[in-house]
Amino acid sequence: MTRDHFGATRMDRRTLLTASFAGSLSLLGGCHGPSRSQSPDQIALWPNTPPGGGGPGGIEQSTVTGALYNIREPRLEIFRPERPNGSAVLVAAGGGYQRIGMRREAYPAARWLTARGITAFVLVYRLPGEGWAEGPLAPLQDARRALALIRHRASAEDLDLDRVSLLGFSAGGHLMGMTATHWAGAGPFSAGPVGGRLAPLAGAALIYPVITLEKPYDRTATHRDLVGTNSDPALARLWSVQSHVTSGYPPVFLTQADNDRIANPYNAALMARTCEAIGTEVDYHRLPTGGHGFGMGEPDHVTSEWPNWYHAWLTERGMA
């Protein structure tokens, strides 16, 4: 596959607005970690207009809590460790497919990974409610495209393709869970070609994830933005991760709090049970408290333990 075909150029062209780049750097302000990770390379996911076209007007926006929306330029932000060990993680923050929690989830995860020698590819994906013609397929297209680009860049980034995994939070956990299925859709839900072979997956870590969109677990923003408020049950099942978990699904790490009021804790339990049923290795950790959206954990709280469990899981698989 040629470089021209991928169009994986650094986004110094007009397709990445200067305001977008400056906004991402401002989100990193005050963060500590390897110096090379403070100014990530930003790589366009698509060489031209994303599939189907459309999208929001104006410039990319950020909430006061550092969550991005009005995503016009889907991209990868690459965080490189000082001493890379050859493994890589594709990171997707959550936000109910309405925004992307960069400051709360994506950037802390990237810093945590690079501190352990792991190259982090942070995914800034299209949001289905922002006018993209592909609607709910847009984030899945972007995630699959990201895996193709990671494979394409493996030599340049000195990556071992046997050590690429996923990390997703909340709605980002749904997206990474769907991506790990390699489901490309069918009929009107076909994600289409992504311009290359996908990187193989050594595992998927899904943190307080949304897994099912089926009743009675259909009150999430993820459900509303992917299938609508009163969706056909068949459509809700189509966009539920467990519907596509089949033989060959990669090993899974899961954690979720029992008092999660956003994504019912049934989600992680369902994913664990589904993986066990097909013989996929699963490491599932229930937290007694913590609610939703605790990112890489909160100091002096039980949620601060999960990164240690995750690190052990990565280490067992030769990724850390």
Cβ atoms within 10 Å of 294's Cβ, excluding its own? 23
Q: What is the mean pLDDT of the chain?
A: 88
The pLDDT tens digits for 173-187 are 999 999 999 787 766
First to last CA, the chain: 29
The pLDDT tens digits for 205-240 are 999 999 999 999 999 999 999 999 888 999 999 999
The pLDDT tens digits for 276-296 are 999 999 999 999 999 999 999
Q: Which of 250, 254, 249 is nearest to 272 (CA)?
A: 254
* 186, 148 contact by CB (below 8 A): no
- Residue 271 main-chain phi, psi, to 5 deg: -65, -40
Q: Which of 239, 240, 249 is nearest to 202 (CA)?
A: 249
pTM score, whole prediction: 0.89
- Residue 318: per-residue pLDDT: 96
- Reported residue count of the chain is 320
Close Cβ partners of 37 (under 8 Å, ≥ 6 residues apart): 79, 80, 81, 110, 111, 114, 120
Q: Which of 23-27, 28-32, 110-114 has the lowest mean pLDDT?
A: 28-32
Strand order in the sheet with 282-287: 41-44, 75-79, 119-124, 88-92, 164-169, 203-207, 252-257, 282-287
The pLDDT tens digits for 99-139 are 999 999 999 999 999 999 999 999 999 999 999 999 999 99
Tell me the pLDDT band of 86, cut-offs 50, 70 and 90: very high
- Residue 187: per-residue pLDDT: 64
In whole angstroms, what is the distance from residue 172 CA to residue 95 CA?
A: 8
Q: Which of 209, 204, 197 is nearest to 240 (CA)?
A: 209
The answer to whether residue 1 scores a pLDDT higher than 90 is: no
Close Cβ partners of 42 (under 8 Å, ≥ 6 residues apart): 10, 11, 16, 21, 24, 75, 76, 77, 78
The pLDDT tens digits for 37-72 are 345 899 999 999 999 999 999 999 999 999 999 999
The answer to whether residue 155 scores a pLDDT higher than 70 is: yes
In whole angstroms, what is the distance from residue 105 CA to residue 94 CA?
A: 8
- Residue 191: per-residue pLDDT: 64
Question: Which sign, positive or negative, has the C-alpha torsion 193, 199, 201, 205?
Answer: negative
* 174, 241 contact by CB (below 8 A): yes
